[in-house]
Structure 1
Amino acid sequence: MITNIDQLDFSRQYTYADYLTWKFEDRVELIKGWISRMSPAPLRFHQDISFKLSWQIGAFLKNKKCKIYMAPFDVRLTNKRKKATNKSIVSVVQPDLCVICDTSKLDEKGCIGAPDWVIEILSRGNTKKEMKDKFSLYEENGVKEYWIVFPDYFQVQAYDLLDNKFVLRNTYTKGDEIPVGIFEGFTIDSDDMFA
């Protein structure tokens, strides 16, 4: 059993089976087997944005089958060519917010498979992870819609999955009503989100 993050070997790859044995307080993600430390507790503005987004989305989803979850919430992304087992899963991420409409993907440990919509809110120091590593991971696993929120600039980049590739729909700023691609007629009030 691993009780301290310093016991891990950052030069090797791990699986979800390994991840389940770690009993330390540091939050980490696995991206294709590689350990990725999560940023320290986010700034208050990050948390405000997360709460306001979850409130708007949650109100829309009331009485619908789709569910919204906030970090920390494990999303296990699977290799579609292999049967998903704890030993075959090498990517476990904790998106700031995710929406899952196929409730068969949910179990007591979180989500197994791609959410329909993922929102990551950038914190200082984690830009590369969200902009490159997780972007590619979400794209290849079939996340239908991916938003990256830039709190410092009051911006949201919204990507839609088209032909297995993320395509930038638009960059939205404070004052915009941001359409949600997977839910026709639903928009996010950016003034409220960034207030």
Structure 2
Amino acid sequence: MMGLALKDRQQHTYGDYLQWPDDLRYELIDGDAFLMSPAPDLPHQDVAGEIYFQARQALQGKSCRAFIAPVDVRLPKRDEADELIANVVQPDVLVVCDANKLDKRGVRGAPDWIVEVLSPSTASHDQIKKRDLYQRAGVREYWLVHPIDRLLTIYRLQNGEYGKPELYPLEGETQVGILPDIVIGWGELVARLPKDY
């Protein structure tokens, strides 16, 4: 099967996903296949890489583990078999504290913390579709980093829903609310970003 449209009209599962070519990356949200854009630009990768690096350092010797894309995160609705799962995403950065959610294929179940670095081609997808999916799946804290606007949006799960988002400039440090060991420093990272980015 070559080249699904950005969003095709068929319903798919993780079983289908495993049959697709490795040179194309997709995400599944409620069975809809979304072709991911080509490799992100260098500033996007720098932001994701720096957040991952700081999170991984902060978690050394602890039970929680940090990962960086591409890692398949399967989000079952209940206890369906892997091949029937209709939600598979590849967040930019994620932390999982329950080792039972990790297997050789990636992650099965909601990560504790997810970070998506926004780019113009994916911003609405990350802010609407993924936000809704992460809320339903039970992701406890969801960060959207807007490198162009130098802005951070944080959603925290309370009573099964994301409340009003918190907005912060990419300045100083920001602590992960549910993982207080992780504090992301923005100064050097933001200084490295191109001025016109």
* Secondary structure, aligned partner of 1:184: strand
Structure 1 contact 39–123 (Cα < 8 Å) conserved: no
Question: Displacement, 1:171?
Answer: 1.0
Partners in 1 of 2:17 and 2:72 — Cα distance?
11
CA distance 1:179–1:7, change in 2 (3 Å): closer
The one-character-per-residue Cα deviations of 1:62-117 (angstroms, maximum 9, x if unpaired) are 0011111111100000112xx22133200000000000000100000000000000
* Secondary structure, aligned partner of 2:180: coil
2:111 corresponds to 1:124: no
Q: What TM-score do you get using the length of structure 1 for normalisation?
A: 0.92
**Which of 71, 82, 103 is the matching residue for 2:69?**
71
Q: Which residue of 1 aligns with 2:160?
A: 164
Moved more, 174-183 or 52-61: 174-183
Q: Which residue of 1 aligns with 2:20?
A: 22
Question: Displacement, 1:185?
Answer: 5.4
Q: Which residue of 2 aligns with 1:189?
A: 185
Question: Displacement, 1:169?
Answer: 5.1
CA distance 1:31–1:9, change in 2 (3 Å): closer
Partners in 2 of 1:69 and 1:183 — Cα distance?
15
Moved more, 5-14 or 85-94: 5-14
Partners in 2 of 1:64 and 1:152 — Cα distance?
33
Structure 2 contact 6–34 (Cα < 8 Å) conserved: no
Gaps of 5+ in 2: 192-197
Partners in 2 of 1:58 and 1:144 — Cα distance?
18
Q: Which residue of 2 aligns with 1:140?
A: 136
2:50 corresponds to 1:52: yes
CA distance 1:22–1:119, change in 2 (3 Å): same
Partners in 2 of 1:163 and 1:176 — Cα distance?
30
2:179 corresponds to 1:175: no
Structure 1 contact 68–99 (Cα < 8 Å) conserved: yes
The one-character-per-residue Cα deviations of 1:18-76 (angstroms, maximum 9, x if unpaired) are 11111241111001100111122111111111111111111100001111111110000
Partners in 2 of 1:136 and 1:157 — Cα distance?
15
Count of residue correspondences: 191
Cα RMSD between the aligned structures? 1.8
CA distance 1:7–1:54, change in 2 (3 Å): closer
CA distance 1:7–1:124, change in 2 (3 Å): closer
Q: Which residue of 2 aligns with 1:93?
A: 89
* Secondary structure, aligned partner of 2:179: coil
Q: What TM-score do you get using the length of structure 2 for normalisation?
A: 0.91
The code of the aligned residue for 1:101 comes to C
Partners in 2 of 1:105 and 1:165 — Cα distance?
22
